[in-house]
Amino acid sequence: MERIYPHPFFAREGWAIMGIAFVIALLVQLFVGGFVAAIFWLLFIFVAQFFRDPAREMTDDEKAVVAPVDGRVIKVEEAVCPYTGEQTKLVSIFMNVFNVHSQKTPVAGKIEKIEYFHGRYLNASLDKASEQNERNAVTVVTEDGQRVCFVQIAGLVARRILCYRMVGDVVKKGERYGFIRFGSRVDVYLPMSAQVLVSIGEKTTGVETVIARLGEPVSQPVESQDEAAETADSTAKTTVTEASVSSDVVEAKTEDLSLIHISEPTRPEPIS
């Protein structure tokens, strides 16, 4: 098991909010005290627990797909991924305000694309939240060419999605890549060859819980969009070159034929 802890116990995203909550609680304690102060101290404790980001142990299984967040599985089904257009297996994990809200990459690979969408702030547990809420989709291609897409979805209380990676970045499994403030959801779209290991209602622990195992690629490794474009461009250039050579050969043959003189047969002279 590998222990993942490359960041502070309390997430940097919450330092300012935690500081404000602490100062307010302290001032209320000094000038008011009693029951009112207790309420503000409880508020500070709530904020502090929300922004905790503890160390986690991750499996050494290279085929394992780890949970990107703490939460509860609310959906396991086959679905067409709206960001890749591929038939996939979908695992949705809902986070309440008491879960750790930093997101970790479920697989290792290269980021093929990142798509951000403005949207509404419906309850993240609703089906339509995946299509209507604010969201950020990250598509990663693994070393053996399998495509996995994971989507940060804002919830009823959440008002900001943070993503710290860019297209072309190579990410490690379990690496911290984003954060959603105050209640949200993450959808993970897996290849059809993957074996899902969790069920609806099951609780997950970010990085520690294995939600699926990748199978063998059912087709040849997928190409990134840039590589596909380069291949198409190279093929087009080769085709044009071959066509040009063929045209030159035809023209050369035509010129050679025009130089050939076809003489008429001579008639024999009459014998006198």
Q: Is 247 helix (H, G, I), strand (E, B) or coil?
A: helix
Handedness of CA 218, 220, 226, 230 (dihedral sign): negative
Q: How far apart (Å, rounded) are the C-alpha atoms in residues 19 and 245?
A: 73
With beta carbons less than 8 A apart as the criterion, state whether 3 and 56 touch: yes
> How far is it, in rounded angstroms, from Cα 39 to Cα 22?
12
184 flagged as catalytic: yes
Selecting among 184, 193, 247, 258, the annotated active-site residue is 184
Q: In b/e form, how buried is each residue of 204-234, taking b as 16+ CB within 10 angstroms?
A: bbbbbbbbbbbeeeeeeebebeeeeeeeeee
Catalytic annotation, residues = 184
